[in-house]
Structures are given as structure tokens and as C-alpha cells.
Amino acid sequence: MPANDLLKALKLLVVDGEPATRELLLKLLIKPTDVEKQDGTEQDSQRNVEPQRCVQEIQTVVNVSDAFALMNTSYHPDIILIGLGGGREGIDMARSLQRRRHPAKVIFMAASFMNYNARELRELGSCTLHKPLSSNQVRAALVETMISDLFALQRASATAC
């Protein structure tokens, strides 16, 4: 299955206190694309622009409390991107998800990970993203997370036989 097809099936939740990060991720993962007329010709004066989703759905929230509130009601993300703003709130969220055996995978985001325990981050999340974020970096992390999850499922089913 091509990587783009893997991404198009994803539901993401972004938890970050920085509005610029939330907006950037929306821009990176939901891109406007030019649409041609029905007859295949381009429109002359004004082009229609429709969003082309790189993922199935993306929701953004400001903090961990809002994330849990959303997930307790109706939204069930495949991957949660958690911004680490220098505190432990994001790590505590990941630990709570792990204790609850929540199926969502976690990707941590930060400008620097120097103040965090690398082993703890690896145990709680699939990978890390360094800010400022780029489109290639985000997509690669999403694909890596999905592929590692598929391999883990494959290993689990092989040992169960």
C-alpha cells in the first residue's frame, strides 16, 4: 500500500498550546488544490480551490484537558501529536493513554528535547518531531508511525500462532 494511501485513512488529534503550530499542521495536512472545470479546461478569472486532505480527519485542541474531553465524547484518533511546551502535561497524557491501553499512537513535538528523558519518550511515543515543522518531516513521522504499528501487529499475530 502506498504511503499516501496510509495517510489518507488516518484520524489525527493535535494537542498544542501554540496556535501557530496547530494552524501549520492544518495547512500541511489539508492543502488547497486548484480544481478544473467539468470540461477539463481551467477557469479564466477565478480558480476554485478545494481542500485536498492528506489525512482522513484532523482535530486540534489547545491542551490535554480538551483532548481527553474530545476523545471521551466522539473522536477516536489513530495518532495524537502532542506538543511539549516545557512541562510534563503532554508526557502525563501519553502515560495515561498507555495505562488505559488506548490504541492511538503518540508523536511528541518540541523545539528541543534536551530537558526530556529520551528513553521515556521512546517508551511513550512512536517518534519525535522537532519544531519548526516541515511537511516532509510530518509526513515521514506519520508514515513511520503507521508502518511500525503494522509491523507490531504482524509480530503479535505471528507469535500468537
Q: What is the pLDDT of residue 54?
A: 78
Q: Residue 18 CB: number of other CB atoms within 10 A?
A: 14
Annotated domain spans of the chain: 3-34+48-160
Instruction: Give domain 3-34+48-160's CATH number out of 1.10.3720.10, 3.30.470.10, 3.40.50.2300, 3.20.20.70.
Output: 3.40.50.2300
Q: What is the pLDDT of residue 137?
A: 93
- For residues 151 and 147, give the distance between their C-alpha atoms in angstroms, rounded to a whole number: 6
Nearest C-alpha neighbor of 87 from the set 4, 16, 149: 16
Angle between helices 64-73 and 89-99 (to 10 degrees): 30
pLDDT along the chain (161 residues), means of 10: 68 95 90 48 45 78 96 92 91 95 94 91 91 92 83 56 52
Residue with cell 498550546: 17
Q: What is the pLDDT of residue 8?
A: 78
